[in-house]
Structure 1
Amino acid sequence: MEFSYGIDDRPRPASLLIFGLQWLAVSVPAILIIGKVLATLQTEGSAIPYLQKLFLLVALLLLAQIYLGHRLPLVLGPATVLLIGILASLEGGFAAINASILIGGLLLAGIAAVGLFEYLKRFFTPRVIAVVLMLIAFTLAPTILNLITDGGGTVPATQTFFFAVAFALALFIANGRLKGIWKSTLALWAIIFGTLSYIVLFGPVPLPPEGTALLALPPSLLAPLALPDVGVLAAFLICFLALAINDLGSIQSVGGLLGADKMGERTNRGVAVTGLGNVLAGLTGVIGPVNFSLSPGVIAATGCASRFALVPAGIALALMALSPLAIAGLASIPGPVIGVVLAYVMASQIAAGLMLSQENRAVGTFDEGLIIGVPLLLGTLVAFLPPEVAAGFPALIRPLITNGFVVGIVTVLGLEHIIYRQRQENQT
């Protein structure tokens, strides 16, 4: 495939700005969607400081990856798999969650630094990876449902639900019709037009509070830390295993597309920077980052493979992070709009898992179908456990057994490598 600019080429200033804006249009929705879900859980006043810190973290890590890490045109953002871990561990408190992310980041950076990924990769077969991709979407279903029925206390849940259904239908029609960069940035346009439609139908959304500063740092960059329970830490370490495979796959997919040299070194450096980024996330109290697998589509659409095209996007994200007024405007986006766009992103995740299964012929027998189907069903059921059922489990194991993603991952690993291993070896 021919590209107008190679990995280390520097586009002309005008082209650099245009390409940077395109990468920014891809980056902002992911940060905003996941960040807003978590920011609303903060009980200490405004959600603006959380989003400021998250935007700033992503900006710094993006620039660090471009110059020090994998040095590839690869966008990053909040890790959805960690969102599941956080939502399932709220009972343990944010101080324990922050410490768990910090510890997970340290381990990830250490594993990458000593080159141990080759030993871990063999456990993540195509079937296991397909379950990881799809399980993230299924276990986020309760969160999506809460968002699309959130009328902010003024709009009935039934009305917001019907709005969400109609909006989702329009979004998927657009996905089938659009091509190129328009399709790559569809999430951004969906947020813009979805918010405008919501305002027309249900009235204005809350504006930023009067007196919100145009430029200011978050009140506190450091977050509280507390020694996590064994169950909380174990749940996060399993989530970090999935994050590592996601990061690894994203780096290798872009490197393979571009024919990049020294991929072993790029991968280790890239994952190490991701790990250190999660350490920083734990210290600042925000969700940890990961490299996104959607980058090849953006590169193919723009024809630009230069890593430096992401520099303007990183700078713009940092500037947005320094503006409470800009962040407050983004935070006013209605919950149903965020919920539908999150559902659209998760549907794409399911599609990626199904494509991976087909490309690798991961499901050819009934038993192989069970290896994928059982963890997905079990993980989804656990995600919808009523609070009174979850409260009945012992406190030590509650973060593990009530986390649908963790239960699904443990199940698929057991089915793939223990229960059905001998039978698969006999068939081969």
Structure 2
Amino acid sequence: MNQSSNKVTFFASIQWMFFIFVNVVVVPISIGAAFELSTGEIVSILRTSLVVTGAACILQGWIGHRYPLLEGPSGIIWGVMLTLGASAPSLGLSLKEVGGGIATGMLLAGAVTILLALFGAVSFINKIFKPMVMNVFLMLLSIQLAIIFFDGMISVAEDGSMNVTITLFSLVIVIFVAFLKIKGNRLISNFSLLIGIVVGWPIFKLLFPDAGSIASMSEGSGGLILFPLGPPNLQLSIVIMTFIACLLNMSNTFASIQAAAVIYKESPERNRYRNSMLLTGGYSMIGSLFGLVAYAPFASSIGFLESTQIYEKKPYYWGGVMIIALGVVPGLAVMLAQLPITVGNAVLFVAYLQLFGTALKSVRNYAFNSVTVHRFAAPVLLGVSIMMADPKLFTSLPSVIQPLVSNGFIIGVLLSIVLEHTIRWQEDSGTAEKTEQLNSK
């Protein structure tokens, strides 16, 4: 029995390692490309990101919020950084100036996050991020991730057309993993994501030997480089935009902890929020020194947990240890980065279908009518509409606000906050009040 348990822990740890890696590895590579860094600088950011992410996960699970949730580069800040980098020419700034402004904004936001946690502002922040705001957050997050990973499943040829064969293969992986999840026995269902990667990777390489991987780069030096995106500066437009986005990023912490608490059927104490904010603020400040994206707990981890049905923390810890090893040992991260892009995205697409279910469950106790439905429908549908709009539509706006206005996720959450704090909605269910009471404990 003990041997069987050890085997489950081992494979669950490998599954956690792949989940963390696939979610994290694309971020530093895309940031490096956006800011025109050298291969050595990109490898440095990649390895540092893996080490910090592995340590962040372990510490959060141990002394932070104490749930097995991936702590990694925030998708909100990632999108803002890519947009700011792309807008550098229109702002009349060099990429180093933009990167330095981002570093300043992240340092300030990390420090403010730590101060808010130390001075007991958890209850105040909880009042800002009301239950309905968190419901909107989860719904928009699930839709945004589905769009991102669906786009990643589609292989695009050099002429801009779809590579039908590779795209069909990725769809087969989706169907295969979903079938294992739905029809497999408990063991197979729990490891369906890992099986999808282990089976899909070699078959893809056999069928499409010349197709792209997550990363195509030589190993490079990979040594620590301080402020690779640019030294801190006071480019106020960049600093302010980054600072606002990083503060809004705190919604990740509250949404993740609240969603995890539902799974574990418990009410998290206030110190879990405080400790998580302290750690996240610290990671973000450390990360800004090495060109990393600001950190946050991944609410999307809920989809992974519900998909695998493995809730023990031991595999999560070992997955974090393996991620640290990938960053420390030269060449290991680059080797794993040969995972085909479409296979990684197809597997994550299935994992995040569960997150959509979590978002639906979060509103099922609300009885909406023709008036109250606006508090949920307006921010969600506006956010999705902006997500689907052509980014070129926003180029006529002042460059400094383009990253904010063109981000459907941020606009949707901000609208939800405004609606919840300016309109006295008639409650048709006691769910919201109960949730607020639990979160204030």
**TM-score range with shorter-chain normalisation?**
0.7 to 0.9
Q: Which position in structure 1 is the counterpart of 2:404? A: 400
How much has 1:36 moved relative to structure 2?
Answer: 1.3
> Given residue 289 of structure 2, which amino acid in structure 1 is its aligned partner?
L
State the alpha-carbon separation in 2 of the partners of residues 303 and 343 from structure 1.
Answer: 20
Q: Which position in structure 1 is the counterpart of 2:105? A: 100
**Residue 35 (structure 1) aligned with residue 37 (structure 2):** no
How much has 1:118 moved relative to structure 2?
Answer: 0.9
Contact 2:170 2:346 (8 Å CA) reproduced = yes
C-alpha RMSD of matched pairs (Å): 3.8
- The one of 42, 45, 48 equivalent to 1:50 is 45
CA distance change for structure 1 residues 417 and 68 in 2, over 3 Å: closer, same or farther? closer
**Residue 168 (structure 1) aligned with residue 174 (structure 2):** yes
Post-superposition CA distance 1:69-97 (Å, at most 9, x none): 34555553333343343344433544433
State the alpha-carbon separation in 2 of the partners of residues 51 and 118 from structure 1.
Answer: 36
State the alpha-carbon separation in 2 of the partners of residues 242 and 192 from structure 1.
Answer: 34
Contact 1:88 1:403 (8 Å CA) reproduced = no
Contact 1:20 1:313 (8 Å CA) reproduced = no
- The one of 105, 110, 130 equivalent to 2:135 is 130
Q: Which moved more, 1:377-386 or 1:228-237?
A: 228-237
How much has 1:341 moved relative to structure 2?
Answer: 3.0
Q: Which position in structure 1 is the counterpart of 2:414? A: 410
Where does the alignment leave 5 or more consecutive residues of structure 2 unmatched? Answer: 89-97, 431-441
- The one of 389, 395, 406 equivalent to 1:391 is 395
How much has 1:50 moved relative to structure 2?
Answer: 2.9
- The one of 234, 252, 258 equivalent to 1:243 is 252
State the alpha-carbon separation in 1 of the partners of residues 358 and 280 from structure 2.
Answer: 22
- The one of 421, 424, 429 equivalent to 1:422 is 424
How much has 1:145 moved relative to structure 2?
Answer: 4.9
CA distance change for structure 1 residues 180 and 409 in 2, over 3 Å: closer, same or farther? same
CA distance change for structure 1 residues 117 and 37 in 2, over 3 Å: closer, same or farther? same
**Residue 110 (structure 1) aligned with residue 119 (structure 2):** no
State the alpha-carbon separation in 2 of the partners of residues 178 and 33 from structure 1.
Answer: 25
State the alpha-carbon separation in 2 of the partners of residues 88 and 242 from structure 1.
Answer: 21
Contact 1:131 1:375 (8 Å CA) reproduced = yes
- Structure number with the bigger relative contact order (C-alpha 8 A, sep ≥ 6) is 1
How much has 1:326 moved relative to structure 2?
Answer: 1.5
Q: Which position in structure 2 is the counterpart of 1:365? A: 369
Post-superposition CA distance 1:39-66 (Å, at most 9, x none): 1342323343332111101122233335
State the alpha-carbon separation in 2 of the partners of residues 83 and 182 from structure 1.
Answer: 34
CA distance change for structure 1 residues 70 and 242 in 2, over 3 Å: closer, same or farther? closer
State the alpha-carbon separation in 1 of the partners of residues 212 and 246 from structure 2.
Answer: 38
Q: Percent identity at matched positions?
A: 17
Q: Aligned runs of 1:8-19 on 2, under 5 Å?
A: 19=9
How much has 1:427 moved relative to structure 2?
Answer: 10
Q: Which position in structure 1 is the counterpart of 2:95? A: none
State the alpha-carbon separation in 1 of the partners of residues 117 and 305 from structure 2.
Answer: 26
State the alpha-carbon separation in 2 of the partners of residues 187 and 16 from structure 1.
Answer: 19
SS in structure 2 at match of 1:203? coil
TM-score, length-scaled by structure 1: 0.79
**Residue 354 (structure 1) aligned with residue 356 (structure 2):** no
- The one of 338, 349, 372 equivalent to 1:343 is 349
Post-superposition CA distance 1:223-252 (Å, at most 9, x none): 334445266235514531322313442664
CA distance change for structure 1 residues 356 and 426 in 2, over 3 Å: closer, same or farther? closer
How much has 1:106 moved relative to structure 2?
Answer: 2.2
